[in-house]
Amino acid sequence: MSTEHHDHDHATTFQPDEEDSLGFYAIAEMAVRELLCERGLMEAGELHQALEWYDRIGPGQGAAVVARAWTDTRFKEKLVNRPMEAMDEYGIAMGQVQLYVVENTAQLHNVVVCTLCSCYPRALLGIPPDWYKSRNYRARVVAEPRAVLAEFGTVIPDTKEVRVHDSTADLRYLVLPERPAGTQDWEVAALAGLVTRDTMIGVTVPSP
Ligand code: FE
């Protein structure tokens, strides 16, 4: 069994999930975590510290990467075509996880989900929001992406294709949003301020 699905948020499941009962993965995670602590291989505090670290980084790394791509053609080409090299250049450790960067264009809008659980590019975005982990989002964004996006206030014109990307334990997606019109003269730091977590999941688009 892959451990990747179990080294993240399930560890924080101190409250029952939204269905008000623990699922297979939550129970499996608790069993493995308790065993690791019992055998002295890990201390309970270590998990908490790791989660705090993810909490602290937030989506800032992702925003910096996107703003750089908007202002540096060479870097953007690398980010889209050789994302792992781009991460190396930025000193962002992806571990065993393969990153894919999907670029929004005038013809294409990308949105990311993990239909199985909550896989997410944590090194870039921090801890995923609760709605990302919800069964509602996971099931519906695949079946009716335009309707789900509209609930986030994002209306994609019919002329534009919507593509949904399903993450896995080994494979994570980052959406590279379109740079908003009217920001030609903006500095990188100001541009990064437009790039929110949700724009990099693809449920919203940046606007000045
Ligand atoms: Fe997952």
Domains of the chain: 18-201 (3.90.330.10)
List pLDDT tens digits, range 4-13: 454 444 444 4
List pLDDT tens digits, range 16-50: 455 556 778 778 888 888 888 888 888 878 888 88
Task: Confirm if 137 and 148 have CB atoms less than 8 A apart.
Answer: yes
**What's the 185 CA to ligand 1 centre distance in angstroms?**
39
pLDDT of residue 77: 98
Strand-pairing partners, residue 102, are 175
- Per-residue confidence at 56, pLDDT binned at 50, 70, 90? confident
Structure tokens at 143: 């079946």
Is 80 exceeded by the pLDDT of residue 132? yes
The Cα 31–Cα 34 span in angstroms is 5
**DSSP conformational letter for 37:** H
Q: Report the candidate in 99, 88, 69 with the shortest Cα–Cα distance to residue 174.
A: 99
Q: What mean pLDDT is predicted for residues 136-145?
A: 97
Choice among 2, 21, 37, 119 that is catalytic: 119
The Cα 153–Cα 189 span in angstroms is 25
Is 80 exceeded by the pLDDT of residue 130? yes
| Whether 118 is catalytic | yes
**What's the 184 CA to ligand 1 centre distance in angstroms?**
37
Q: Round to the nearest angstrom and report the end-to-end CA distance of the chain.
A: 44
| 94 Cβ neighbours under 8 A, 6+ residues apart | 84, 87, 121, 123, 172
Three-state secondary-structure class, residue 71: helix
Pairing of strands 98-103, 108-113: unpaired
**What's the 137 CA to ligand 1 centre distance in angstroms?**
13
List pLDDT tens digits, range 147-175: 999 999 999 999 999 999 999 989 999 99
| Whether 119 is catalytic | yes
Strand spans (E) along 63-160? 98-103, 108-113
Choice among 21, 117, 134, 207 that is catalytic: 117
Q: Around Cβ 192, how many Cβ atoms within 10 Å? A: 20
List pLDDT tens digits, range 79-128: 999 999 999 998 998 888 999 999 999 999 999 999 998 999 999 999 99
Q: Note the pTM of the prediction, 2 decimals.
A: 0.81
pLDDT of residue 3: 45
**What's the 116 CA to ligand 1 centre distance in angstroms?**
6
Torsion of CA 46, 50, 52, 58, to 10 degrees: 180
**What's the 121 CA to ligand 1 centre distance in angstroms?**
10
| Whether 37 is catalytic | no
Which helix (H) or strand (E) segment is 173 a member of?
A: strand 171-176
